Structure 1
């Protein structure tokens, strides 16, 4: 491979025969090198394949500002998350996560750790991604020597969720806020706390998560046949009453009219939650 661009002594970019740009990293990789020189294969430590030109440019700019060890660690975190979650991520995860962790370390050094108000909700809605976030914190401590607070595990998880769904973090936050509001309605309606570790509550949260996705993408689900919902309402009046409160909230806040089939499934999930 021949050097196309020198980013710093440790990072260069090269082009493959098909025109794909690679970002190549290694300690002293570009030392005493110039554009057009061949790379020393034995110095190559990491190779990033970024097909999106803008993402590649952003990543190269970021690599001028962050330690090579951090960028290398993020690559390891992403690759292990790919295996653990069995999901592919948008390549912008390398930019977003490297930038986030770099800034989090800087804040931590200055004593400005932030509180993550959505930590509980993230743990409940996205437990697998949250585990990846916790493992990332352990790797940061082991490799870089910084013990970041637990709140950062939730924030790292959100970046992976964002990369999975190819959405903006703000949209992921909207979904999390939506679920949080619905759970509050349920708690007040039944005048009780919900067991966050129970299977039925977990199923209900999963249902709400995908329900929120449909609302934000303006996708309607099912028919408006009232038969099943009417039958369920008569059998479980308390759950049906709570589902109507949720419906009123959703119509008021999001302008989304629930179909009878959506109300039917919502009532079923509420009844399961209360059966515990």
Structure 2
């Protein structure tokens, strides 16, 4: 196993037998070493494979000025997240989270603690990611002695959410959160009710909205899979929920210039009916 790139004294890039780029971590692993030298495998503490060469280059650039302890923190946090989350985490998280932790801890040590304006929404809409992020704060405190605030936990949770968007654009995760929040507010104001956030129907609706907004971010506009019969049936049977859906469609069209399909209107109407009515649907959409 040869050194492909030295990131710092404790972190190097190499390749495995399948010619995949790997980052390996170990105390003094690259001390007085250069590209092409063999790695002492007995000193390797952690290894992880990077699927994207672009991510490897960005990580290499970051590690020029970032202590290896922050990459180690990211590794431990992401291992925790991988054990809990059902979706795949993007490799770019190693870069984004390492950079974020380095900046956050430096700011904290300088007496600067920033507020996250989306803390309330993130805690509410991304409960699993936020819980993982709170445990990440415990990892940071245990390893560094620094206790970061819940605002930082919200930022870590957003990085995890953003991983579903497959990339490094943190603003995408912010946009998803804002759109979901605005749609929920439209429903609440239209029906003049507070939604039961502990109900299974609310969780289903929330999951649908997340994937709906992610499709928008990815520009994955769906066509109409169903004929007009189902659309007209839902429109007539669930009038109030459909009118609320129309308001949501107008909001999305005006603010995001995105025309949602009739299929999407059907799904939104059914979800809205579920969370605003005690009556159960005769049609079986329970597995959606």
Shorter-chain TM-score category?
A: 0.7 to 0.9
Over 3 Å counting, the alpha-carbon distance change for 1:213 and 1:8 in structure 2 is closer
Over 3 Å counting, the alpha-carbon distance change for 1:193 and 1:49 in structure 2 is same
Per mean C-alpha deviation after superposition, the further-off stretch among 172-181 and 94-103 is 172-181
Matched, 1:258 2:260: yes
Q: How does 1:196-215 map to 2 (within 5 A)?
A: 196-215=197-216
Q: In the TM superposition, what is the alpha-carbon distance from 1:97 to its structure 2 partner?
A: 0.8
> What residue in structure 2 maps to residue 134 of structure 1?
134
Give secondary structure in 2 for the equivalent of 1:12.
strand
Q: In the TM superposition, what is the alpha-carbon distance from 1:182 to its structure 2 partner?
A: 0.9
Gaps of 5+ in 2: 279-288
Q: Deviations over 1:86-106 (max 9, x none)?
A: 433222211111001111111
Gaps of 5+ in 1: none
Per mean C-alpha deviation after superposition, the further-off stretch among 33-42 and 176-185 is 33-42
Q: Quote the RMSD (CA, aligned, Å).
A: 2.6
- Please report the TM-score for the alignment, with normalisation by the length of structure 2: 0.83
Give secondary structure in 2 for the equivalent of 1:112.
coil
> What residue in structure 1 maps to residue 94 of structure 2?
94
CA distance in 2, matches of 1:44, 1:183: 49
- Please report the TM-score for the alignment, with normalisation by the length of structure 1: 0.86
> What residue in structure 2 maps to residue 8 of structure 1?
8
CA distance in 2, matches of 1:256, 1:18: 43
Per mean C-alpha deviation after superposition, the further-off stretch among 198-207 and 233-242 is 233-242
Give secondary structure in 2 for the equivalent of 1:173.
helix
How many equivalent residue pairs? 276
CA distance in 1, matches of 2:20, 2:261: 48
Q: In the TM superposition, what is the alpha-carbon distance from 1:175 to its structure 2 partner?
A: 1.9
Q: Deviations over 1:137-188 (max 9, x none)?
A: 1111111111111122221122222223314322222222211111111121
CA distance in 2, matches of 1:8, 1:208: 43
Q: In the TM superposition, what is the alpha-carbon distance from 1:192 to its structure 2 partner?
A: 2.7
Over 3 Å counting, the alpha-carbon distance change for 1:116 and 1:195 in structure 2 is farther
Contact 2:90–2:166 (Cα < 8 Å) also in 1: yes
